[in-house]
Amino acid sequence: MGPDSYYDILGVSQSASDTEIKKAYRSLARKYHPDVCKEPGAEEKFKKINEAYSVLSDAQKRAQYDNMGHEAYSSASKGSYAGGGYSGGFSADFSGFGDIFETFFGGGFGGGRQRAGPRPGADLLMKMRITLEEAALGTEKEVGVDHVEPCPECDGSGSETKKTTTCPTCGGSGQMRQMSQSIFGNFVRMTPCTACGGRGRVPETRCKACGGTGHRRARQTVKVRIPPGVDTGMRLRMEGYGDAGDYGAPPGDLYIEISVAPHRSFTRRGDDLETTVDISPAQAVLGSEVEVQTIDGRTVVLNVPPGVQHNTGLKIPGEGVRWQTKPGDMLVRVRIVVPNRLTDEERELYLRLLEIEGHKPSAKGAKKGKGFFQDVVDKVKETVK
């Protein structure tokens, strides 16, 4: 996996159990949380710990990570898509010691290190259902997204003059100090200033169009590039397409969660695609060339070997799901279909075959006619007359 693998970050082996991973994570998160650890680089270390746990604690993400390797998985999550998660915003499980941090610092994690200044925009999440063809081959789609954008009247400043001033309530710190008591003694609790929302600055003259918020609701059209190989649960990251941030702060990101619809002919097995083809008993006995349609609509020839058995899987290399490195394969399951209608010539051949094998046909089988089902149809017609 490499020196910076998620297993190395948490200090566990690749075969570690879920319990071992969770125990290691809690210990490291408690040690390196920026509200507790003041060492240089503690915040970055904490982010890496959280990122590692968010992947290894999820069975699906962990399997994808183990299969792809650290570098490929990391580049995918930072680039076009990630295996069911994203780095924006912590979503890890801090249960068991979150109450300790809240007692010390207030407002849960990060409450004690709230800093004045413009806040980045929030990330957005939307679900998208695509076909198996689109998942296997990749595609582009346009989607409409409701989001928060900067007010065009004040350019997102919240002020008619497009200028802001220092918050008179907090003096520009963006925080209010509160004393709280606990069993450990008195602690100073820092909370965001209610007047400026923790920004430290307020509009010089409130914008009438947005009421001083600097934002408005709007709908944007986003072109989403869906790379080949995505699967249900994966998320695509659209950087900068989330909600607008405060004046001077970057916007959030948009995450597209993929859901792949079932296909009438193909079933996905990882990077492989499975389908079926019907052949006759003669084709099964003697072998044959059969035409099979691929996921992209092409027709390829499948060589069925002599003596193939019912439900046997035959592989066509490279005709599965396209991936970053190499495509998967197509597995074609053979279904031997017995005809229910025979011509006189076919019946004679089957009777001759039974004779060679030393068997006798049933009374109906030996009867010369159009076939059992056609006989039923003819009898119904006679009854109607």
Same domain, 208 and 288: no
With residue 307 as reference, give the H or E element that holds it.
none
pLDDT at site 379: 52
Please tell me the total count of domains within the chain: 4
Same domain, 65 and 136: no
Same domain, 255 and 150: yes
Length of the chain, please?
385
Question: Is 37 annotated as belonging to a binding site?
Answer: no
Question: Is 170 annotated as belonging to a binding site?
Answer: yes
Question: Which domain, by its residues, includes 374?
Answer: 344-383
pLDDT at site 83: 40
Question: Is 210 annotated as belonging to a binding site?
Answer: yes
Mark 212-239 as b/e (b = at least 16 C-beta within 10 Å).
bbbbbeeeeeeebebbbbbbebbbbbbe
Same domain, 236 and 281: no
* Crossing angle (nearest 10°) for helices 42-56 and 59-68: 100
Same domain, 251 and 128: yes
CATH number assigned to the domain comprising residue 319? 2.60.260.20
- pTM of the complete model: 0.58
Q: What is the pLDDT along the chain (385 residues), one digit of tens a residue?
A: 555 789 899 999 888 898 899 889 888 888 887 767 778 888 888 888 988 898 898 888 888 888 777 776 766 665 444 443 333 333 344 443 444 343 344 444 444 444 556 788 999 999 999 999 999 999 999 999 999 999 999 988 898 888 888 988 888 888 888 777 665 566 777 788 888 877 888 888 889 999 888 899 999 999 999 999 999 999 999 999 999 988 778 999 999 999 999 999 999 998 999 999 999 999 999 999 999 999 999 999 999 999 999 999 999 999 999 876 688 999 999 999 999 888 999 999 999 999 999 988 887 776 665 554 455 445 545 554 5
Quick check: is 231 in a domain?
yes
Quick check: is 244 in a domain?
yes
Same domain, 331 and 241: no
